[in-house]
Structure 1
Amino acid sequence: MAAGITTHVLDVALGQPAAGMQIELFDVATQPPTLLARTRTNRDGRTDSPILPAAQARAGDFELRFWVADYFKTPDVFADVVPVRFTLSDAAQHYHVPLLCSPWSFGTYRGS
């Protein structure tokens, strides 16, 4: 896998990919943070292309924002926008940042 940042979202309440969720990527080294990309997940819960392509990858601090409440559209949803802040220490590596979520919980990890 080429360098850059990719993500995907799984709806663990339904046991399926979270299709149509809005995701934003910010550079948090600037104040205010700079919006680098805005996209939605496809039917497989992934973005159609890397949210930060390899050609634009660089070391630094970034934040993915997952619009969980808009996706679930239920009155008792726990999280609104879930921020995941992380550091790219080596721009030559691939960083995959998945989100597992339900209306009441969420988790992430560095994937492959």
Structure 2
Amino acid sequence: MSSLSTHVLDTALGRPATGVPVRLYRDDVELASGVTDADGRIAELAPTLARGTYRLWFDVAAYNEQSFFPEVSVTFTVADERHYHVPLLLSPFAFSTYRGS
């Protein structure tokens, strides 16, 4: 089985995004949820994940009501057994993500 963590950074302010609610879905079923800590992290959102396609949903509006993107959804595939880390970089009018380590 694989595991999952995430990290949200506010690139406009140059600091972690604290207090961002995050939910993990497979199909339309919510599997896990959490809120980013003072370092912008959720260290163990899902301790075990089977192979398949998942979606992380970030409630950006809860962190910054002024954000152009009130929510961000990131769909990814778990293809093998390892730790998966999905960072999200936020700014007022953009976001990006990548396969972290």
Task: With the length of structure 1 as denominator, give the TM-score of the two structures.
Answer: 0.85
Match of 2:60 in 1: 68
Question: Contact between 2:2 and 2:50, CA under 8 Å: does it hold in 1?
Answer: no
Amino acid at match of 1:83: S
> 2: CA distance between counterparts of 1:5 and 1:38?
12
Q: Secondary structure at the match of 1:70?
A: helix
- When Rg is computed on C-alpha atoms for both structures, the one with the higher figure is 1
Aligned residues: 101
Residue segments in structure 2 that go unaligned for 5+ positions in a row: none
Displacement of 1:3 after TM fit?
Answer: 3.7
Please state how far the C-alpha of 1:37 moved relative to its aligned partner.
0.9
Partner of 2:20: 21
**TM-score, normalization by structure 2:** 0.94
* C-alpha RMSD of matched pairs (Å): 1.3
**Matched residue, 2:10:** 11
Q: Per-residue CA shift, 1:15-70, capped at 9, x if unaligned?
A: 00001010000012xxxx100111100000001x41110xx221011000011122
Q: Percent identity?
A: 46
Q: Which runs of 4+ in 1 moved over 3 A?
A: none
Give structure 1 stretches of 5+ with no counterpart.
none
